[in-house]
Amino acid sequence: MNVTFFGDLAVEFANSVKAIKDDTITVIIASAKVNEYEGIICLNNYPATRFYLNAKHPSVKKLKLRMSDPAYCANNLEPLPEQTPPLFSVEDIKKLPKEFIEKKVRCQITVKKVDEKSNWYDNVCTTCQAEVTTVEGRYRCIICSRNVPFLDKRFRIATLCNDTTGLIAIIFPDDEIQRIIGKNAFEVEDEKDYVITLTINERNVNKTINIYRATDISDLIEVLGNHSPPNLAAVSLTKEPLVTPAKPPVHNPAKAPIVENTNNATATHCHRDQPTYSKLNQQSEEPSEEE
């Protein structure tokens, strides 16, 4: 079974394992969340989760005795490698037949816009990670058939992407956002190429919805050219237009020269008689050699 810890518990677990010199380590995990990701059952942590390594517990002793029996062992067959999904253009993805429902395909696209109007997260069930709905003022999970008093939040970013054949709306998933956009979410607005794996659902094939969900995003590749298809009308993911917020004015008390396309924290190209902004405090105390 796959087990994934996040946050401080993950750091604590890694440090505890490194400190143990034994060849075999037994782990007891208490109060873990049972989730399902892409059809595979896995365990995750939440605030109540605890772990115990090589605990002196009767169950651990029984487990070690069973492991010493050659007849009691796991069948460690190597899993078959997953086939790489086929690569399609945006135009071909929009024409996929019913045979591709619940299958994965890939496309190489450029992220053109990030929808800043829609929510950047989903409210999901703490048990199955499915998106919850509001029923009579309460959050309810349809999959688990229960009310969810405390929700988990998962990132989602609505993007507008394109290749040389057309435009496509794609939802970036939580784990991939954390992997490639953790330091700055707005980096996806840069002109960068991605190879994205999409899961095609029935509504995509039936043309009842034109938004696709990504399940995997490859490493970044620098854009070598403009892939904008000509004569295409602007497409919005929401009823409201995509608006880039205005940047606040640069605070510049020292009246340092403003350089275009920089953060204006320092000015590296100045007149010789004008001290740079980064060395202003030092040169204010000592006269320059030219003076």
Residue 40 and residue 96 share a domain: no
Residue 160 and residue 100 share a domain: yes
What pTM value is reported for the model?
Answer: 0.43
Residue 113 and residue 61 share a domain: no
Please check whether residue 266 lies inside any domain of the structure.
no
For 103, phi then psi, to 5°, come to: -110, 165
Q: What is the pLDDT of residue 94?
A: 93
**Amino acid at position 245, single letter:** P
| Domain boundary residue, one of 222, 249, 264 | 222
CB neighbour burial string for 52-77, b if at least 16 within 10 angstroms, e if fewer: eeeeeeeeeeeeeeeeeeeeeeeeee
| Domain boundary residue, one of 222, 251, 281 | 222
Q: What is the pLDDT of residue 181?
A: 55
Distances (CA, A) of 246 to 25, 55, 243, 249, 258: 55, 57, 9, 9, 18
Please check whether residue 29 lies inside any domain of the structure.
yes
Please check whether residue 278 lies inside any domain of the structure.
no
Residue 161 and residue 95 share a domain: yes
Please check whether residue 43 lies inside any domain of the structure.
yes
Q: What is the pLDDT of residue 61?
A: 86
Domain count, the chain: 2
β partners of residue 32: none
What does DSSP assign to residue 253?
T
| Domain boundary residue, one of 222, 240, 273 | 222
Find the domain containing 40 and state its range: 2-67
Q: What is the pLDDT of residue 76?
A: 59
Please check whether residue 280 lies inside any domain of the structure.
no
Using DSSP, state whether 3 is helix, strand or coil.
strand
User: Residue 177 belongs to a domain with what CATH number?
Assistant: 2.40.50.140
* Segment 140-180, tens digit of pLDDT: 888 888 888 888 877 777 888 999 999 999 888 776 666 65
Q: How far apart are CA 248 and CA 118, in angstroms?
A: 23
**In 3D, which of 240, 236, 263 has the Cα closest to residue 252?**
263
Q: What is the pLDDT of residue 192?
A: 66
**Amino acid at position 34, single letter:** V
Residue 208 and residue 103 share a domain: yes
Which segments of the chain have a pLDDT < 70? 38, 73-80, 175-192, 219-291
